[in-house]
Structure 1
Amino acid sequence: MNRESAARGWQRVMSACVLTAVLSVGTATACDVAPVIRYAEPAAVKAFFERQGKRVVTFVGYSGAGYENRPAMLDEAGRMLDRWSPTDTIVNIGATPDGIGAVYDLAKQRGFTTAGIVSTQAKRYAAELSPCVDYVFYVEDDSWGGFVDGDTTLSPTSTAMVDASDVMVAIGGGAVARDELIAAKRAHKTVHFIAADMHHAKAIEKAQKKGLP
């Protein structure tokens, strides 16, 4: 190899390294968030959002169960996010990065302030917080959410979630998401539902653990 060829090869290596570094920095800073974490009752959570003077759009769906088609879920979420402006809207989810929590990254890329409302069960089981959430509210709760007495009274976490929201967007989701959507409709909130399958392999595993066929 002559000196000129070696120089060209070295330039290519350096260019690749610089590009990798730039991309890595972009990825890291997209969600370089030090969240404000609070323990609060539902009324205090609602009051916080009211003080912000912005529309609160809450996304619900599958969390740990995940999505069979994650890219399609993110596409749907992106289209919904594009309806609103970061200047007057806060995006709220369930604080964790799993499943629907991937929408946090999309929201931050678009410049939204983000928030998360989650049961203290998440703290008990050391659930990870999304690196893209600005405000986290842990709500004291013996459950993960949903109705606690049939179909009329929501758990504290779900009460906080529904009361704080102006708009609720469900992309698939299990029992908790269903209950919150029902309550939101009863409260005359704006509600959007987009059908989506949970991760099939995880669904089968979950059914087997419960002894279901």
Structure 2
Amino acid sequence: MISSSQSASVNNIESSVASSPNFDPIKVEIDKKIDNKFVLVFSGFSGMGYENTEKLQDYITKEIKQNIDEHGIHNLLIVAGATPEGIGCVYDIAKNLGVSTFGIVSQQASTNSLSKNCESVMQIKDPDNSWKVLDDSGDSYMVYAASKNGCFLAFGGGSVTLSELEEAAGKGIKTKIFPEFLPDPINLDGKLAQGKTMAEICSIQTKYTKEI
């Protein structure tokens, strides 16, 4: 069982469970954490931050409160990428509202960089250093969490969020898209100066609005 003071890696899980071709111990642990709760998976900008953090927090708070009203506070689970920056503010909001939280993140994230308000974390092998959290078939564990009984929410975001969103939509999972959210302008300018394009940095807005 993953405690609030521990970060469980894939290696730790695999070492304790016998492997078989059709058995994924990570999904077993995710299922245990979900435990029939309705899951809200939040994705978006992380280290890039946001242009309007107050608006972001207001929107996230509204979404969580609506789902508390619909499903009950003890039947709701918030899932995001475990780090505190950007979309990671969802952990602070969820704690203040009394909602359970769970983080799924690449092993690129160091344990001391994780949100203190994320109750438990699962770190996933990431050999390509992509920041994606993928199973052996290339499917996202973030999407898997939403697929049990939940919704995938994209508050802006780059290529990782776009790939997760498209996978979720393709699997018939409920999705909500907020393409108007942009990253912090200073961080955005820095990425543009490095030769990145708006389509690469703001993949959600590029695809779902005509503003760029």
Question: Taking structure 1 as the reference length, what is the TM-score of the superposition?
Answer: 0.73
| 1:158 Cα deviation from its structure 2 partner | 6.2
CA distance in 2, matches of 1:210, 1:54: 43
Q: Is the 8 A contact 2:37 2:75 kept in 1?
A: yes
1:163-178 matches, within 5 Å, as 163-165=144-146, 166-178=150-162
Q: How many residues of Structure 1 are paired with residues of Structure 2 in the alignment?
A: 172
| 1:103 Cα deviation from its structure 2 partner | 1.0
Task: Indicate yes or no: 2:186 matched with 1:201.
Answer: yes
The equivalent residue for 2:115 is 130
The equivalent residue for 1:35 is 5
Q: Is the 8 A contact 2:39 2:79 kept in 1?
A: yes
Q: Is the 8 A contact 1:45 1:164 kept in 2?
A: no
The equivalent residue for 2:93 is 106
Q: Is the 8 A contact 1:96 1:127 kept in 2?
A: no
Q: Is the 8 A contact 2:108 2:131 kept in 1?
A: no
The equivalent residue for 2:173 is 189
Matched to 1:194, the amino acid is F
Query: What is the DSSP-based 3-state SS (H/G/I as helix, E as strand, rest coil) of the residue aligned with 1:59?
Result: strand
Q: 202-211 or 180-189, which moves further after superposition?
A: 202-211
Q: Is the 8 A contact 1:74 1:103 kept in 2?
A: yes
Q: Is the 8 A contact 2:82 2:115 kept in 1?
A: yes
CA distance in 2, matches of 1:69, 1:138: 29
Cα distance per residue 1:61-98 (max 9 Å; x no partner)? 00000100000011111111112222111101100000
Query: What is the DSSP-based 3-state SS (H/G/I as helix, E as strand, rest coil) of the residue aligned with 1:173?
Result: coil
Task: Indicate yes or no: 2:162 matched with 1:210.
Answer: no
| 1:43 Cα deviation from its structure 2 partner | 3.3
Task: Indicate yes or no: 2:5 matched with 1:50.
Answer: no
Change (3 A) 1:37 1:212: closer
The equivalent residue for 1:94 is 81
Matched to 2:174, the amino acid is T
Which runs of 5 or more residues in structure 1 are unaligned?
Answer: 1-32, 147-153
Query: What is the DSSP-based 3-state SS (H/G/I as helix, E as strand, rest coil) of the residue aligned with 1:92?
Result: strand
Change (3 A) 1:201 1:158: farther
Cα distance per residue 1:116-166 (max 9 Å; x no partner)? 00011113xx661101011100000123345xxxxxxx8349611111112
Matched to 1:187, the amino acid is K
Question: Taking structure 2 as the reference length, what is the TM-score of the superposition?
Answer: 0.73
The equivalent residue for 1:16 is none
- Between the aligned residues of both structures, percent identity stands at 28
User: RMSD of the TM alignment (CA)?
Assistant: 2.4
Query: What is the DSSP-based 3-state SS (H/G/I as helix, E as strand, rest coil) of the residue aligned with 1:121?
Result: coil
Task: Indicate yes or no: 2:140 matched with 1:159.
Answer: yes
Which runs of 5 or more residues in structure 2 are unaligned?
Answer: 15-22, 199-212
The equivalent residue for 1:61 is 44
Change (3 A) 1:66 1:158: farther
